[in-house]
Amino acid sequence: MRFSLHTGKLKRSVTAIAVCTGILLSHSLQAGEVEFEASGNIALEQRYFFDDALSSQQLSHSQTSFSVEPELYWQWNDGSDSLLLTPFYRVDSHDSQRTHGDIRELAYIHASDDWELRLGIRKEFWGGTEFQHLVDVINQTDGVEDFDGEDKLGQQMVNLSLVNDWGIVDVFLLPGFRERTYAGSEGRLRGPLVVDEDDVSYESSAGQQHLDVALRWSHSIGDFDLGASWFHGTNREAYLTPTAQNTLQQYYSQMDQLGVDVQATLGDWLWKFESIYRSTSLEDFMASQAGFEYSFVGVFESNIDLGLLMEHSWDSRGEVGLGAQGSLMQNDLFVGARLAFNDMQSSELLMGFGSDLDHNAFSFIIEANRRFGDNFIASLDVRLLQSNDENDLLYTLSNDDHAQLSLAWYF
């Protein structure tokens, strides 16, 4: 069992931010009445893998876990000041690495007319494409939570947001780096070698304490939402190198990344585009994700809305990158459909099919959710992964087809 904030250096960074936040709070709490809200969710999750594991170490078919994620929110000074706390913890029946905790958010926010200050641990999302988020670089991926990379670890930051007529400028100072989480020896959805969480090295002599910086400009012009970003700091993706102990060593390089994202809403069409250029001491590359979603409102004179999606992924590295950091989406086409039933239970269904245009490989996903009563949401995810080419990175996950059912109580 482990907790994500376990290193001494990282604790010192958290303590420093907490002290600064406490000083600001002691002054701002003197003004105005404090309002408090508590919410969150408790969830039970069951996974079932259709095939035997690739390795005899891994769990066979069934995997159960339990998670809790409360959210505590305070606001005062007529809403100009607020504090948000969102801890998270999961207990897993088999994978000790998936039994883990994290502080998703612990942030003080002060809002003024044309600027906003956010201080603490936060999650910051950039971009808008469906099947891959290239420009989203601030938070580290919580890799043990799910395969899709949507779950993120909390990131320590100081964020100043400046509002202008010509757009919003966000400045980020990011003290303290979070290492990516990986499945353990008994976990599924991993390759044949286990990533060693203790065998980690950095290009920067500051290690986890390197101060990363980032800038982002975003603006809406008519039907277009535009974004441009720059990030300098520790690469969120590790280069993984096999060792004599048959494990994978993590190496985090320094990187500079330029990103751009565009979303255009033109009638029933929603066009999306993301692209990055990343430079490290080991490699330079470009990547893009582009596509559209077309919406049919009230199909067959019903309350159901149907959205048809298509996106293409491209990566200049191809599939074979340095270390083990090649791209799964070097030349892939994704098509999908989204159904919004617009009923009292907020029922939704997303189906997607991905095809590697360079290899005989594909992926298929189903994501469905429905509310029961006022407080329960049931979710079903199905993921099928197939590749016949041993040189394809997806090949190592071909035995991990699975269905995942979860029931969450929201309070």
Domains in the chain: how many in total?
A: 1
**Residue 72 within a domain:** yes
**Residue 87 within a domain:** yes
Domain of 36? 8-410
**Residue 2 within a domain:** no
Q: What was the pLDDT predicted at 398?
A: 87
**Residue 250 within a domain:** yes
Q: What was the pLDDT predicted at 148?
A: 87
**Residue 3 within a domain:** no
Residues of the chain with pLDDT under 50: 1-10, 321-324
Q: How far is CA 354 from CA 138, 178, 227, 332, 399, in A?
A: 26, 30, 26, 7, 17
Q: CA angle 194-398-243, nearest 5°?
A: 20
Q: What is the pTM of this model?
A: 0.90
CB-based contact 3:90 (threshold 8 Å): no
Tokens of 78: 């007529």
How many other CB atoms are found less than 10 A from the CB of residue 30?
9
**Residue 187 within a domain:** yes
Tokens of 180: 């990516």
pLDDT of 29-60, one tens digit each?
555 689 999 999 999 999 999 999 988 899 99
Q: What was the pLDDT predicted at 359?
A: 81
Nearest to 159 by CA among 236, 100, 213: 213
**Residue 1 within a domain:** no
Q: What was the pLDDT predicted at 102?
A: 98
How many other CB atoms are found less than 10 A from the CB of residue 151?
18
**Residue 240 within a domain:** yes
Q: Which residues contact 380 (CB under 8 A, 6 or more apart)?
A: 366, 367, 368, 369, 403, 404, 405
- Domain holding 19: CATH number? 2.40.160.100
Nearest to 153 by CA among 132, 169, 174: 174
Q: What was the pLDDT predicted at 24?
A: 56
